Amino acid sequence: HMRNFVSAGAFAAANGILPFADKQAIKQAYQALQTPLKGTRQQNELYQELLELGVVNSNVRLGDLTRLMEDVNFGETMTSDKGMRLLLKPLSKLKQISQDLYTAEDDFWKIYSWAMEKSRIEKAFEKIGVTRGQFFKRADGTEVRLTEDFLKREAADIVKNNIPNYDYVSDFIKGLRKLPIGNFVSFPAEIARTGTNIVSRALREINEEVIVNGKAFKPFQTIGYTRLFGFGA
């Protein structure tokens, strides 16, 4: 659990986000978690929204583990004996709690990263004089309105592509768990995917221009350089 929590936090750092830098974002992330812990489940609507956006509940190692257990019909062959069932019943509750916490450790950093990405995108626009409700043009001429929905989706897109996500692991990679080359193959595959995406996103942010009132700006340069520095570190 400690390794899972620390490694998930490392991906926030790799995107140039300092862990525990924003107290409000930390509080929001913790309150949205779906666990039995005190203080969680207070922002269920936010969690549901992030679930729909594909940000949370996508732990890579847990995905591999769950499917490995399904592959071997875990528990199905030990239910015929009444004594064994009684023995496994409390263990099944413990397994569920442990699984919920494992997911929550991953979700905490994803929600925190999402909140921080959303915040710094909005601040980048504010620096060039664009506030919510106003329009700007991308370099390709597409006119976009800066809204809460735009910020949420833009931040969600970054988190989904720059932090390991089991939904983005191909069926081929998932199938490799059945071969004698190693069971937990999704995580290293996601490290390769997200590492490439982090660098790609950073370079795009450094060079991307937006047009406001006929003038060209590069509002995301600072974010891009910070992301590259975080990835290098």
CA distance 36 to 101: 9
| CA 233 vs CA 1, 3, 14: distances in Å | 24, 19, 7
Tens of pLDDT, residue by residue over 37-51, are 899 999 999 999 999
Question: pTM for this one?
Answer: 0.85
The CA-based angle 65-94-5, given to 5 degrees, is: 55
Q: What is the pLDDT of residue 101?
A: 85
Tens of pLDDT, residue by residue over 47-78, are 999 999 999 987 777 777 777 777 767 655 55
What residue type is assigned to position 101 of the chain? L
